[in-house]
Structure 1
Amino acid sequence: MKRISVFCGSSTGASPLYSESAKQLGTQLAKEGLTLVYGGSKVGIMGVVANAALQAGGEVIGVIPKMLMEREIAHTGISELIVVNTMHERKAKMEELSDGFVVLPGGPGTMEEFFEVYTWAQLGEHRKPIGILNSNHYYDKLLTFFDHMVQEQFLKSEYQSMMIVEEDPKPLIEKFFTYDPPPLTKWITRQQT
């Protein structure tokens, strides 16, 4: 494991705990010798996690679409900034570059990024760990909704267990190193005998 993609908000949110968790994660990634791959922005907790990784001596790769580059929110002080044409290309590039994914608090864009890589994992497009850093219990209601999905049989429990959920970055990243994905069973039919 060499590179971890982090999906997070372009806002700092209502609580200072969100920025504090982002700082801790950026620092932890650098301490573990892992490169941070993220959306390339200097604003919100995106900027916080990038700056923390840099300050701890880590490498940071940003992937940003041209339209956001032109709005002057790109972080120009990171190790490498990759400019792509679209948001779709951004996600594909981040997935290609990364050995795992961490979701910090964020809005609809963060959720969209998370759900895409989570769906890809269920379909076997990748076998990489996906972690939710549940800062300030931000994702409690989403996690309850996943329980509801399992109960209503729209999500298999083994796919729910693909998500590594922690409130602290250190145990979250430690679990990435021992992650063992469940066997692929989605839409695999058994041969009739």
Structure 2
Amino acid sequence: MDLSERQRIRRSELLHAGIELLGAPDGPAVAVRAVCRRCGLTERYFYESFADREVFVAEVYKYVADEARNVLIAAVASADNPPDRAQAAVEAFAQLIIDRPAMGRVLLIAPMTEPSLGGRSLQSAPAFAVLIGEQLDTVSDPEDRQLLSVGLVGALASLFIAYLDGIITVDRDRFVEHCVDLLANAYSWQRGQK
């Protein structure tokens, strides 16, 4: 294994340790030493890949946000009609966010609790709104489509945050079903079934 491959592996290990620490149930606990300890690496290897803690935290968040976006794109591409796309997207997102709660807490909760991430979730929200907006092909007015897609991102984020925090305690299947219904019926709810 050459040097660049070893560096790539170490960077990946550090990012995965960062997900567990940034997405810890009791809140972010990201310190350079804690990350290195979790990986069994010295700080020298941390600084080989990241300039400092803040850059590292931002990279962890970006990694998770990119993963979420890729999972959603693949899920939507795998379905042929709007109800199936809603089901596929919500199920894929639940697998990433609920079944791997550290990922969910990094994406949805850490931007509110980790100062160095201030505003990150607001920066990534438009990309998720575009993904939803692309599926609202029955909404011909672009302003209606934008309003609806941004509102859905906010509603779904709030639901997933409440589920991760234990505020919503329904079983996973019922939760997923509710989110699918929200997506599948959003336009008719807003426009009153015109």
In the superposition, the TM-score normalised over structure 1's length comes to 0.32
Which structure has the bigger radius of gyration? 2
More strand by share: 1
In the superposition, the TM-score normalised over structure 2's length comes to 0.32
